Amino acid sequence: MNIQVFVRASCAVSGIVLLVWAVGQIRPDPAEVQSTLNDSGPAPTGRMVTLSSSKSSVAGIQLAVVRRGDLLIARTLPARITYDDSRHVSVRAATDGVLERVLVKPGDVVVSGQTIAVLRSPDIGNARSEVMTRTAALELAESERVWWSTLCENVKRLVDAIASNTPVDTIEIQFRNATLGEYRGKILAGYSKSLLASRLSASVGEIGQTGAVSGRIVQQRQSQQHQALAELNALMEQALFETGQHRKQSRAEAKTAERDLMVAKQLLSTLLGMTEGSASKLDPSGNTTDLARLEIRSPFSGTVERRTHSATERVVGGTELFVIADTSELWVEADVRGRDWNALQVSDGDSVIVTTPATLTQRLDAKVYFVGREVDSLSGAIPLVARIANPNKILRPGLFARMEVPVGTLRDVIVIHDSAIVDLDGQDSVFVKSENGYEPTAVQVGIRSGDRVEIRSGLHEGQSIVVDGAFVLKSEMLLEGEQ
């Protein structure tokens, strides 16, 4: 009995030893397995998927060739759509008054200079009346200045002609249409009297030499000549002085009237809340019977974004009445936190990518306008503002957005579109086109930036991969697996 048990135990032990030795001979060397895997590359993650050409066309299969290139690394920042400050204005009440009419509503398109409301204000009426009064005073002062300037110049010419001993008849012809006022008669009468005295003195002097008249008469005639000449010179000096003084005074009065008008216009411009130049365009004050009526006009072409008051409401100066904006171009304002300040690699004019819920997957191009310098005390961020075109008016101010901002660049890497990557059993994979169909191949994904992805292993240049329709191939592969 003991001998039989011993024999059985010996046989069992021998069998176990032989089995361990056989397993050791069959198991491959781990180093050889690893070398084989490295040489063969990534193993396919599933079976080959085959589609007919017609089915591929219906599925919308699109291929792309794998290439190496540079990958721009971007940081996605929260952002919001806002108005472009240069294309947005808040139209406010110029002064206290009552809204007589409101002519537009939100969504209306307006053009520059279009009347959008009518405000009635006594202050505006008083200011306009003052402008009209000062304008009339300036016109009167200017006419006075022109009159005395012309008169002064003509009197000078007349005096020069008399000094040249021009005959009276000739002077009258030369100055027939000239403005001389009362000085024409005074000076010409004095000149005629002086000429007559000169001729009488000359004739008496010739007769006196013959002894026909006494010497006393000769002296009397000569005295009359000198007196007439002295009176003429006095008249001319007085005329030159008076006209010169009047010209200076009229110039000063015209300058004063001009300053008074300028002050009145500035007061009106202040009430209207605009510069003097723009006030002359938007408030011509052509209505001389209803000066208190002010037409509020759109400062530029755009869309009425907001209206805050209705007709018959009383408003105070500075109250916002409308918001008008040209939304064909907007701003995208992103918040740059402290950790991203030094990483950003953008400057004015650089391109950034913007996405919004309103545009779904569409990626919009925007141009950097400026990077702010001041840190917001509440958010701890600085603004990065970019300009974005909005020709179809899809974007609206206040809309949430995301902005992809470059922070670096990967050089000479394999880059593919993220639409090529699918998840197969928890492994990132792509479908590689081969002669027999589409082969699912596992890849190691690196850095993602926007819709571009770095591939660190699993692909090489020149391969054709599916970039559109990969999910269709995945579904087809799963269906084949179930069958």
% of the chain beyond a pLDDT of 90: 31
Q: Examine the pLDDT at 444 and tell me if it is beyond 60.
A: yes
Distance of alpha carbon 299 from alpha carbon 301, whole angstroms:
7
Residues in contact with 324: Cβ distance below 8 Å, sequence separation at least 6, in sequence order: 88, 89, 91, 110, 116, 298, 299, 300, 302, 303, 304, 305
Q: Examine the pLDDT at 224 and tell me if it is beyond 90.
A: no
Helix (H, G, I), strand (E, B) or coil at 213: coil
Instruction: Give the residue carrying structure tokens 């291929």.
Output: 63
Q: Examine the pLDDT at 23 and tell me if it is beyond 50.
A: no
Instruction: Give residue 270's pLDDT.
Output: 82
pLDDT band, very low/low/confident/very high, at 217 (cuts 50, 70, 90) = low
- The mean per-residue pLDDT over the stretch 112-118 comes to 92
Instruction: Give residue 25's pLDDT.
Output: 44
Q: Domains of the chain, with CATH numbers? A: 53-72+409-482 (2.40.420.20), 137-267 (1.10.287)
Instruction: Give residue 7's pLDDT.
Output: 43
Residue 284: is it exposed, middle or buried by C-beta count within 10 angstroms (0-12/13-18/19+)?
exposed
Instruction: Give residue 361's pLDDT.
Output: 75
pLDDT band, very low/low/confident/very high, at 288 (cuts 50, 70, 90) = low
pLDDT band, very low/low/confident/very high, at 436 (cuts 50, 70, 90) = confident
**In Å, how far from its chain's centre is CA 273?**
21
Predicted TM-score (pTM) of the model is 0.55
Distance of alpha carbon 68 from alpha carbon 454, whole angstroms:
10
Q: Examine the pLDDT at 282 and tell me if it is beyond 70.
A: no
Distance of alpha carbon 264 from alpha carbon 46, whole angstroms:
88
% of the chain beyond a pLDDT of 70: 82
Instruction: Give residue 360's pLDDT.
Output: 77
Q: What is the pLDDT of residues 40-82, one digit of tens each?
A: 344 445 578 887 777 777 778 888 999 998 887 778 889 999 9
Instruction: Give residue 291's pLDDT.
Output: 86
How big is the chain by its Cα radius of gyration, in Å? Answer: 51
Q: Which of 348, 365, 349 is nearest to 450 (CA)?
A: 365
pLDDT, averaged across the chain: 81
Q: What is the pLDDT of residues 369-409, one digit of tens each?
A: 998 888 888 888 888 999 999 988 889 999 999 988 887 77
To which H or E segment does residue 242 belong?
A: helix 215-272
pLDDT band, very low/low/confident/very high, at 311 (cuts 50, 70, 90) = very high
pLDDT band, very low/low/confident/very high, at 138 (cuts 50, 70, 90) = very high
Helix (H, G, I), strand (E, B) or coil at 334: strand
Least confident segment among 94-108, 251-265, 322-336, 441-455: 441-455
Instruction: Give residue 8's pLDDT.
Output: 56
Question: In 329-473, which ranges are E strands?
Answer: 329-336, 351-355, 364-371, 382-389, 400-417, 422-424, 427-433, 438-442, 444-449, 452-457, 464-468
